[in-house]
Structure 1
Amino acid sequence: MKTFKLTFFLAITTLYATAQNWKSDPEHSRLGFRVEHMQISEVNGIFKDFEIDVKTAKPDFSDAVIELRAETGSIDTEIEARDKHLKDKDFFDVENYPTIQFKSKSISRIDENKYSVTGMLTMHNVTKQVTVEMVHNGTITNSVTKKRTAGFQVTGMISRSDFEIGSKFPAKLVGDKVFIIVDAELQLQ
């Protein structure tokens, strides 16, 4: 039993000692969404102020622990009146719920560079488990910054009703399903 405990302790210690920290490069990353409007068109938008932190010990990111934080007040659909409405109590209520947070719980490989990531998403003071797909586009040494840089795209679908956002607006007016797309460049810290 002592040998098992020592082996387990050494494995955990080695993992934390070799884990690398990566952060999103805000100039080359985007957190976007798309939602149906009146069943005939779509509205696209972004959150301008967000940050992604990743810890991993493996170069293929197969053991990554991912955290994302976005400021709800940074929502931008390129229409000022709509953005103001999305920030008020009808939707995000940014005064009372200023952030969106995601923290991964597990990651599993789908194929060579594609993963399924499951984690806890918190919006509007509601936390739900969600699963998204992550594609690792590669890792290089950035020729400008000289930093190790990894590229990712994350896609998924959530239901706004699960998070009590826009509850008084039926899906025929504003779609319930919201498509999420994150394009991110992460830099090794």
Structure 2
Amino acid sequence: MATTKWAIDSTHSEIGFKVKHMMFTNVSGNFSDYEANISTEDDNFENANIEFSANIDSINTNNTDRDNHLKSGDFFDAENFPKLTFKATSFTKNGDDYELTGDLSLRGVTKTVTLPTEFSGLMKDPWGNTKAGLNISGKINRKEWGLNWNSALETGGVLVGEDVKLNIELQLIKL
């Protein structure tokens, strides 16, 4: 069977995340500079080969000071670890949806994560291109990758939550 290569359609995709701020509201952010190598053996994406990387310097939370802090040694340490990477080890059906498992590397630490994934199927766009949709969610604990910085609040609790919720919307285009 022929291998199909896919690219991320960046105009219709978002690599997003949310983190609790002051324990009661979420701050959202995304990475705007990323790349992926994706290949499949069939149209249902089972056992897809997925490799992804994002440039830490492209982090955007709509606040320059916060973005600079996230790039610093307190968090991602972009100077020494300029990319986050993900390499899938499996993409398997789980009921109506899928599970994407792979190795996530941040700040020089690699851990295996499993992320619930919704596969939206295939569709032709008005220009005849075949597109596929993936919505990847889940959460990780940032401290497992050494992103430990925090600040105690007078009222108790901490400034930055440990759990990072992922919200990754991918529209892929068949090459």
* TM-score, scaled relative to structure 1: 0.86
Q: What corresponds to 1:157 in structure 2?
A: 139
The CA deviation at 1:150 is 0.6
Structure 1 residue 36 corresponds to structure 2 residue 23? no
Decide whether the 8 Å contact of 2:29 with 2:60 is kept in 1: yes
- Equivalent position SS for 1:68: strand
Amino acid aligned to 2:112: Q
**Whose helix fraction is larger, Structure 1's or Structure 2's?**
1
Structure 1 residue 169 corresponds to structure 2 residue 155? no
- The 2-side partners of 1:65 and 1:76 are apart by 28
Of residues 105, 118, 129, the one that matches 1:147 is: 129
Q: What corresponds to 1:69 in structure 2?
A: 53
- The 2-side partners of 1:62 and 1:55 are apart by 10
The CA deviation at 1:49 is 0.7
- The 2-side partners of 1:52 and 1:155 are apart by 17
- The number of aligned residues is 170
Taking every aligned residue pair, what percent have the same amino acid on both sides?
Answer: 34
Decide whether the 8 Å contact of 2:75 with 2:149 is kept in 1: no
String of CA shifts for 1:88-117, please: whole Å, max 9, x gaps.
1111111111100001111221123x1011
The CA deviation at 1:172 is 2.0
> 4+ residue stretches of structure 1 with deviation over 4 A?
none
* TM-score, scaled relative to structure 2: 0.92
Q: What corresponds to 1:180 in structure 2?
A: 166
Q: What corresponds to 1:133 in structure 2?
A: 116
Q: Which has the higher contact order (CA 8 A, sep 6+)?
A: 2
Q: What corresponds to 2:154 in structure 1?
A: none
The structure number with the bigger radius of gyration is 1
**Unpaired runs of 5+ in structure 1?**
1-13
- The 2-side partners of 1:168 and 1:103 are apart by 26
Amino acid aligned to 2:119: H
Decide whether the 8 Å contact of 2:88 with 2:100 is kept in 1: yes
Backbone CA RMSD of aligned residues: 1.3
- Equivalent position SS for 1:122: strand
